[in-house]
Chain A
Amino acid sequence: MPEVRLTVNGEEHVLDAPVGTSLAAVLRERLGLTGTKVACNEGHCGACTVQVDGVPRLSCITLAHAVDGEVTTIEGLREHPLVDAFVRCDAVQCGFCTPGQVVSAAALVAANPAPSRDEIRHAMAGNICRCGTYPKIEEAILTWRD
Chain B
Amino acid sequence: MARLIRTEKEVEGRFEEVWLVVEEDALEQWPAGPLSVVGRPATRKSGPARVRGEARYTADLRFPGMLQAALLRSPHAHARVKRIDLAPALALPGVRAALGPGEAPGLVEEAGFVGAPVAAVAADFPGQAQRALDALEVEWEILDAVLDPEEAVARGQLVGEPRRNERGDVDRALAEADVVVEATYRTQAVLHNSLETHQAICQWVGDTLEVHISTQYVWGVRAEVAAQLGLPADRVRVVCEYMGGGFGSKNGPDEYTFAAAELARRTGRPVRCALTRREENVHAGNRNATIQKLTVGARSDGTIVALAGEFTNSVGWSGWSSYTEGPMQMLYACENLRTVTYGAKVNTPPMKAFRAPGFVEGTFGLECLLDELAARLDVDPLELRRRNYAHANDGTPFSSKNLEECYRLAEKHWERRHEVRARSDAVWKHGVGMASQIWFGGGGPPSYAWARVGSDGRVAIVTAMQDIGTGTRTAMAQIAAEELGLPLDRVDVVLGDTARGPYASISAGSSTTPSMGPAVRAAAADAKRRILEIAAQRYHLEERVLELRDGLVLSRDGNLSVPVEEVVGLLEAAQILGKGARGPNPTGMSVLTFGVQVAEVAVDVETGEVRVLRVAAIHDVGRIVNPLGAASQVEGGIIQGVGHTLSEQRLLDPETGAVLTTSLDAYRMPTMADVPEIVSEFVDRPDEHLTSLGSKGLGEPPIIPVAAAIANAIRDATGADVHELPISREEMLRALEAATRRERRGAAAAV
Task: Check if A and B associate.
Answer: yes
Of the residues A73, A130, A135, contact of B669 by C-beta under 8 Å: A130
Chain B residues in 8 Å Cβ range of A134: 635, 639, 670-672, 675
Question: Which A residue's beta carbon lies closest to that of B469?
Answer: A94
Chain A CB count within 10 A is highest, among B194, B469, B671, B672, for B672
Chain B CB count within 10 A is highest, among A29, A125, A134, for A134
> Can you show 15 pairs from A to B with CB atoms below 8 A apart?
A29-B62, A37-B196, A40-B663, A87-B51, A92-B47, A93-B471, A94-B195, A95-B49, A96-B194, A98-B50, A121-B673, A130-B193, A131-B636, A132-B635, A133-B635
- Cβ contact within 8 Å between A87 and B196: no
CA distance A102 to B52 in the complex (A): 9
Of B151-159, B164-172, B239-247, B409-417, the one with at least 4 CB within 8 A of chain A: B239-247
Shortest Cβ gap from B64 to chain A (Å): 14
- Cβ contact within 8 Å between A92 and B640: no
- Cβ contact within 8 Å between B632 and A136: yes
- Cβ contact within 8 Å between B51 and A94: no
- In this assembly, does B418 line the interface, its C-beta being within 8 Å of a C-beta of chain A? no
- In this assembly, does A41 line the interface, its C-beta being within 8 Å of a C-beta of chain B? yes
- In this assembly, does A99 line the interface, its C-beta being within 8 Å of a C-beta of chain B? yes
- Cβ contact within 8 Å between B53 and A99: yes
- In this assembly, does A86 line the interface, its C-beta being within 8 Å of a C-beta of chain B? yes
- In this assembly, does B236 line the interface, its C-beta being within 8 Å of a C-beta of chain A? no
Question: Which A residue's beta carbon lies closest to that of B626?
Answer: A90
CA distance A111 to B197 in the complex (A): 33
CA distance A2 to B639 in the complex (A): 45
- In this assembly, does B562 line the interface, its C-beta being within 8 Å of a C-beta of chain A? no
Given A44-B663, A122-B673, A135-B675: A97 and B635 interface contact (C-beta under 8 Å): no
Contact with A along B628-672 (1 / 0, CB 8 A): 110110011111100000000000000000000001110001111
- Cβ contact within 8 Å between A94 and B196: yes
- Cβ contact within 8 Å between A95 and B242: yes
CA distance A47 to B675 in the complex (A): 19
Of the residues B43, B51, B635, B665, contact of A95 by C-beta under 8 Å: B51
- Cβ contact within 8 Å between B194 and A90: no
- Cβ contact within 8 Å between B632 and A78: no
B residues contacting the other copy or chain, number (CB 8 A): 54
Given A37-B244, A126-B671: A95 and B55 interface contact (C-beta under 8 Å): yes
CA distance A40 to B52 in the complex (A): 21
Chain A CB count within 10 A is highest, among B277, B632, B637, for B632
Interface residues of A in 45-68 (CB under 8 A from B): 45, 47
Residues of B within 8 A of A (CB): 43-44, 46-57, 59-60, 62, 192-197, 242-245, 247, 276-277, 468-471, 628-629, 631-632, 635-640, 663-665, 669-673, 675, 678
- Cβ contact within 8 Å between A40 and B277: yes
Given A44-B664, A125-B672: A94 and B640 interface contact (C-beta under 8 Å): no
Given A78-B53, A124-B672, A133-B632, 12 new contacts (CB under 8 A): A34-B53, A34-B60, A38-B59, A42-B277, A78-B52, A86-B51, A90-B632, A120-B672, A125-B671, A130-B193, A134-B635, A135-B675
- Cβ contact within 8 Å between B195 and A74: no
Contact with B along A71-109 (1 / 0, CB 8 A): 001110010000100111011111111110010000000
CA distance A74 to B632 in the complex (A): 23
- Cβ contact within 8 Å between A42 and B663: yes
- In this assembly, does A137 line the interface, its C-beta being within 8 Å of a C-beta of chain B? yes
- Cβ contact within 8 Å between A36 and B53: yes
Given A37-B244, A86-B51, A92-B50: A135 and B678 interface contact (C-beta under 8 Å): yes
CA distance A130 to B50 in the complex (A): 15
Question: Which B residue's beta carbon lies closest to that of A91?
Answer: B51
CA distance A13 to B196 in the complex (A): 28
CA distance A122 to B631 in the complex (A): 24
Give me the 10 closest cross-chain CB pairs, A-B, nearest first: A35-B53, A94-B469, A95-B50, A96-B244, A132-B639, A132-B636, A74-B53, A44-B664, A87-B47, A99-B53
Chain B residues in 8 Å Cβ range of A36: 53
A residues contacting the other copy or chain, number (CB 8 A): 51
- Cβ contact within 8 Å between A95 and B244: yes
CA distance A87 to B471 in the complex (A): 12
Chain A residues in 8 Å Cβ range of B629: 90
CA distance A94 to B470 in the complex (A): 7
CA distance A135 to B51 in the complex (A): 16
- In this assembly, does A39 line the interface, its C-beta being within 8 Å of a C-beta of chain B? yes
Shortest Cβ gap from A109 to chain B (Å): 15
Shortest Cβ gap from A107 to chain B (Å): 15
Chain B CB count within 10 A is highest, among A44, A122, A125, A135, for A135
Of the residues B56, B628, B671, B673, contact of A34 by C-beta under 8 Å: B56
Given A125-B673, A128-B671: A35 and B52 interface contact (C-beta under 8 Å): yes
Question: Which B residue's beta carbon lies closest to that of A83?
Answer: B51
Shortest Cβ gap from A73 to chain B (Å): 8
Chain A residues in 8 Å Cβ range of B60: 28, 34
Interface residues of A in 126-146 (CB under 8 A from B): 126-138
- Cβ contact within 8 Å between B637 and A74: no
Chain B CB count within 10 A is highest, among A45, A86, A92, A120, for A92
CA distance A74 to B60 in the complex (A): 15
Given A95-B51, A131-B469: A37 and B663 interface contact (C-beta under 8 Å): no
CA distance A72 to B51 in the complex (A): 15
CA distance A96 to B51 in the complex (A): 9
Chain A residues in 8 Å Cβ range of B663: 40, 42, 44
Chain B residues in 8 Å Cβ range of A78: 52-53
Question: Which B residue's beta carbon lies closest to that of A25?
Answer: B126
Of the residues A37, A90, A102, A138, contact of B195 by C-beta under 8 Å: A37
CA distance A11 to B56 in the complex (A): 23
- Cβ contact within 8 Å between B245 and A96: yes
Shortest Cβ gap from B533 to chain A (Å): 38
CA distance A131 to B471 in the complex (A): 12
Question: Which A residue's beta carbon lies closest to that of B50?
Answer: A95
Shortest Cβ gap from A47 to chain B (Å): 6
- Cβ contact within 8 Å between B48 and A87: yes
- Cβ contact within 8 Å between B469 and A93: yes
- Cβ contact within 8 Å between A90 and B469: no
Given A40-B277, A132-B638: A121 and B245 interface contact (C-beta under 8 Å): no
- Cβ contact within 8 Å between B195 and A96: yes
Shortest Cβ gap from B208 to chain A (Å): 26
CA distance A109 to B328 in the complex (A): 49
Given A125-B672, A130-B640: A93 and B470 interface contact (C-beta under 8 Å): yes
Chain B residues in 8 Å Cβ range of A94: 50, 194-196, 242-245, 468-469
- Cβ contact within 8 Å between B51 and A99: yes
Given A40-B663, A94-B469, A136-B632: A131 and B245 interface contact (C-beta under 8 Å): yes
CA distance A50 to B470 in the complex (A): 26
Chain B CB count within 10 A is highest, among A74, A87, A137, for A87
- Cβ contact within 8 Å between B664 and A87: no
